[in-house]
Amino acid sequence: MSTGGQPGNLRARPNIADLLGLLAIMAGAVVVATAGRHMLVPIPASEAGTIHLSPAYLPGYAVRTTLRMFAALAASLVFTFTYAVWAAKSKRAGQVLVPLLDVLQSVPILGFLTFTVIFFLGLFPGRMMGAELAAIFTIFTSQAWNMAFAMYQSLRTVPPDLEEAARCFGLTPWQRFWRLEVPFAIPALVWNTMISMSGGWFMVVYSETITVGNTDIALPGIGSYVGVAIEQRNLAAIFYAIVTMLAVILAYDQLLFRPLVAWSARFQTDDGATLATPDPWVLVLLRRTHLLRRFCLRVGDGMTRIGWLALGPRPSAPARALIPPRLMDAAWIAGIILCALTLGWKTWTFSLTHYSTGQVLHVMALGGLTLLRVMFTVLVASVIWVPAGIWLGLSPRRARHAQMAAQFMAAFPANLFFPLVVVAIVHWHLNSNIWLTPLMLLGTQWYILFNIVAGASSYPGDLLEAARNFHVKGWLWWRRVMLPGIMPYFITGALTASGGAWNAAIATEVASWGDTTLSAQGLGAYIAHATVAGATDQVGLGMAVMAAFVLLLNRAVWRPLSNYAARHYTFD
């Protein structure tokens, strides 16, 4: 029997696998250092900062874009393990942080750019660092919210029997978090991290091409390359960009996400049907190394020791409350009310001097039009992808094969489809208010598909076998067996898709191809035009109205449906 994990085997000399791994690490370090050096140079003049459409520049652009994506992903992980954990662990904090997260995930990218570009450029005047941080922050806003929601939902749904076992073993809060709650959340977090990377690609054009008022900066990257190709109507350059995106997505999928998915399978707690799959080649290569494997094991042992630190009180320790809980609750509610009244008063006084009643009503009407588009796209995506997602998820082999294709399609920026849509609308004299709406589907459908596949994959195999034995088929099977079982996953996917649709409105209600620009009446187009004009007052009004619509929709529709599904359609 192999004893690959024994210390004696780890003392072997370095082999060819170690050499390949070390060369890859050194190459990555050189790339990161080179990109970091470019961040410290002065902002180039317009001629020096020109984006070249020659395919020879695409590898360098791809590296710069990928590094921005992973820098934003690192910031998103830090945000997830602080903000989401605080919201899940503290009932009082959750009353504020969860609604705030609902709003943040729906504020459009250009809404952030309007304010953050000025802030970051002011931190590093005349340097590329400010523009780079603005771009990274913009990508962060398209990744962090989904990951935070996944972590929050996982921490709130830890099985009671596992929590009882943790109490019986006397685990402290620190030990329970790292030995129970984080492992339980890892599968969902890894899955949603993949979705978030795709969401970052969807908005990469707007993060690298910064146009706010008189500020116009194009950062070297695939996003700015696509923006220039659209402006110049260069179909060949768009094709080159698509091929490059495919290569980059394939690379980090093979090198990072497939090993992570294989590793996260260790923490699955459901009893759904599984299929033995071969290990990714990266894991196989790592296991054949000697030095790198030994280093990884040492790092893992160190992290395990940190997770077992006895920080915090034991479950048996008597609780000592210096202030009665009821008094704390009353003070917390009073503080929330005071902050809300102060913010409301400041907003009211600002609105009286900057906005008219007719202007506010007009923006609210535009928000209603965008709301109709959002609900329509979620409905269409559900009709298409719920049956398809169930069909894929019930077969682990099909789900595995479809994962890469769905991940790549979810990463497509909406701009890549603008030529087809704009040319068709102009050629057939179509109504842009109607025919620009399908572009919003690109920002919504994949959230529903990913969640439906996850729900179908985790459906208990014994229940499916019982349905087959009782010959439950047709509409009865859908109504009584499958749809109730995936309902919590569908609600989560629809909620996330709704937020993605509001976010995508800024990119899909205004479509350009060369000097031809089409606009649909809606809140996204209003914010887009105000951002380009540098009208921060109008951008603020549009963002406030969008936040109000999102809160109302979540509180009136999605949260009640989510609570109902959690009570009636979960497997305990």
Residue 321 is assigned to a structural domain of this protein: no
Answer whether residue 467 shows pLDDT above 80: yes
Torsion of CA 139, 141, 143, 147, to 10 degrees: 160
Domain match, 73 and 86 both: yes
Using the 3D structure, point to which of 251, 275, 299 is the last residue of a domain.
275
Place of tokens 């309902």: 487
* Structure tokens given for 524: 């996204």
Q: In the chain, what percentage of residues exceed pLDDT 70? A: 87
Longest dimension (CA), the chain: 79
DSSP string for residues in 461-484:
HHHHHHHHHTT--HHHHIIIIIHH
Q: Is 519 helix (H, G, I), strand (E, B) or coil?
A: strand
Highest mean pLDDT among 66-70, 249-253, 431-435: 66-70
User: In the 8-state DSSP scheme, what is residue 253?
Assistant: I
The residue among 75, 80, 78 whose CA lies nearest residue 152 is 80
pLDDT at 81: 94
Are 258 and 283 in a shared domain? no
Q: How confident is the model at residue 134 (pLDDT cuts 50, 70, 90)?
A: confident
One domain, residues 387 and 530:
yes
Task: Identify which of 344, 371, 417, 372 has the alpha carbon closest to the alpha carbon of residue 546.
Answer: 371
pLDDT-derived band at 8 (thresholds 50, 70, 90) equals very low
Q: Which of 533, 531, 507, 506 is nearest to 115 (CA)?
A: 531
Number of domains, the chain: 3
| DSSP-assigned letters across all residues of 482-520 | IHHHHHHHHHHHHHHHHHHHHHHHHHHSEEEETTEEEE-
Give the pLDDT band (50/70/90) at residue 5: very low
Span 373-382, average pLDDT: 92
Asked if 563 and 451 sit in the same domain, the reply is yes
Of 384 and 443, more confident: 384
- CB contact set of 463 (below 8 Å; sequence gap of 6+): 481, 485
pLDDT tens digits, one per residue of 286-295: 888 888 888 8
Residue 470 lies in a domain: yes
- Average pLDDT value for residue range 197-207: 78
The first and second tokens of residue 199, run together, are: 């969401």
289/382 same-domain check: no
**Tokens at residue 285, please?**
């290569």
Q: Can you give the CATH number for the domain in which 456 is found? A: 1.10.3720.10
Both 500 and 469 in one domain: the answer is yes
Q: Same structural domain for residues 251 and 371?
A: no
Do 292 and 403 have their domain in common?
no
> Which of 220, 249, 275 represents a domain boundary (last residue)?
275
* Other Cβ atoms closer than 10 A to 353: 7
Residue 18 in domain? no
Interatomic CA distance for residues 4 and 1, integer angstroms: 9
Pairing of strands 516-519, 215-218: unpaired
Mark whether 109 and 221 lie in a shared domain. yes
Question: Does residue 22 belong to any structural domain of this protein?
Answer: no
Cα 418 from Cα 379, distance rounded (Å): 23
Of 275, 290, 319, which residue sits at a domain end? Answer: 275
Kindly indicate the confidence band of residue 49, based on its pLDDT and cuts at 50, 70 and 90.
low
Three-state SS at 212: strand
Contact indicator for 116, 138 with CB cutoff of 8 Å: yes
On whether residue 401 sits in a domain, the answer given is yes
The most confident of 103-117, 190-204, 353-367, 528-542, by mean pLDDT: 353-367
Q: Given pLDDT bands bounded at 50, 70 and 90, which one contains residue 323?
A: low
Residues 197 and 290 in one domain: no
Identity of the amino acid at 108: P
Give pLDDT, residue 3.
Answer: 42
Predicted TM-score of the model (pTM): 0.81
DSSP3 helix / strand / coil % (the chain, rounded to 5) = 75, 5, 20
Does pLDDT of 63 surpass 80?
yes
Residue 370 has pLDDT above 90, yes or no: yes
Residue 427 is assigned to a structural domain of this protein: yes
Q: What is the pLDDT of residue 390?
A: 92
| DSSP label of 5 | T
Give the pLDDT confidence of 387-445 residue by residue, as tens digits. Answer: 999 998 888 777 767 666 666 676 666 667 777 788 888 878 888 888 888 888 876 78
Look at residue 529 and tell me if it is in a domain: yes
59 lies in some domain = yes
Residues of the domain holding 302: 278-311
Phi-psi region for residue 213, left (φ > 0), alpha (ψ -120 to 50) or beta? left
Query: 72 and 92, same structural domain?
Result: yes
C-alpha distance across the termini of the chain, in Å: 39
Does the pLDDT of residue 275 top 50, yes or no? no
| pLDDT the model gives residue 211 | 65
The answer on 168 and 140 residing in a single domain is yes
Average pLDDT score over the chain:
81
